[in-house]
Amino acid sequence: MKIIIAKDPKKRKPQWTGVIVYALLLIFVFNFFDWNRPYDGYTRYEVEVNREIVAREQKGDVAKIEKDISLVDASLKNGDSLSGKRAWYMERFRNCVVVGDSLTEGLSVYQWLSKKQVFSSVGGSLNNDEKLFRKAAATYPKAAFFAFGMNDTINYRGDSKAFIKRYEKLLDGVHKKSPKTKIYICSISTPTSKAIKQKKSLGHYKKFNKALQKMCDDKGYTYVDASRILPTHKDLYAGDGIHAASAYYPMWMDKMIEKANL
């Protein structure tokens, strides 16, 4: 005869309770450190893709490698991840600087570039911000993009010749300090008609842009014309008709990338 011993219900305990609690604790600890670690600009997916490219490179498939790299670049720039887009631009502007006024400052304010890549000041002007040129040159960048003129149309009262003379002097200082740096001159962005009505000197921006183009031709600099971006995308204007929303900056940087072949 088989004897069956009944188990005491009071002594019966769930078998997986401890395991589940332990697992949840591990997940919490992992996520805590993951959320609080410094952001390095790349997601895990992006790191894994790059790792696969390196692995393939070791096998010597050069054509495939180049194709994959271009695909990764496109995915970082055009993907849904805003952090991925920002990382893409920061990488493109590695060892490059952008120097300018408060419109330029939006590059770092909106985190499209790091603060180490942007030298700017609110109300920036050639008369007041010689130090920005010195600081930028002291980093010995491979490329330097300069974006001044909006405030200078007012400060120079429409005198484009005096503006260019001062600009050339400051740029000569950059070239002397860092002779290998390639210099790019950005156009003055287009203010709205309302902004020009409030500050008439802003209406000289076209004359100043022509003077900038001529300076580039004479000095061997490269002119980056971004003057049509805001008029084409009027929704990106800030309320003052001078500054711009965050979405303006990738368009502007695309112009720089194209001209500098970054």
Q: Are 177 and 214 in contact (CB under 8 A)?
A: no
In the three-class reduction of DSSP (H, G, I as helix; E, B as strand; rest coil), residue 186 is classed as strand
Phi/psi for 29 (5° steps) reads: -60, -45
Q: Are 221 and 171 in contact (CB under 8 A)?
A: yes
pLDDT in tens, 196-253: 999 999 999 999 999 999 999 999 999 999 999 999 999 999 999 999 999 999 999 9
pLDDT in tens, 99-123: 999 899 999 999 999 999 999 998 8
pLDDT in tens, 138-171: 999 999 999 999 999 999 988 999 999 999 999 9
Q: Is the pTM of this model over 0.75?
A: no
Q: Are 105 and 118 in contact (CB under 8 A)?
A: yes
Q: In the chain, what are the domain boundaries?
A: 44-80, 85-260
| CATH match for 85-260 among 3.40.50.720, 3.40.50.700, 3.30.1330.10, 3.40.50.1110 | 3.40.50.1110
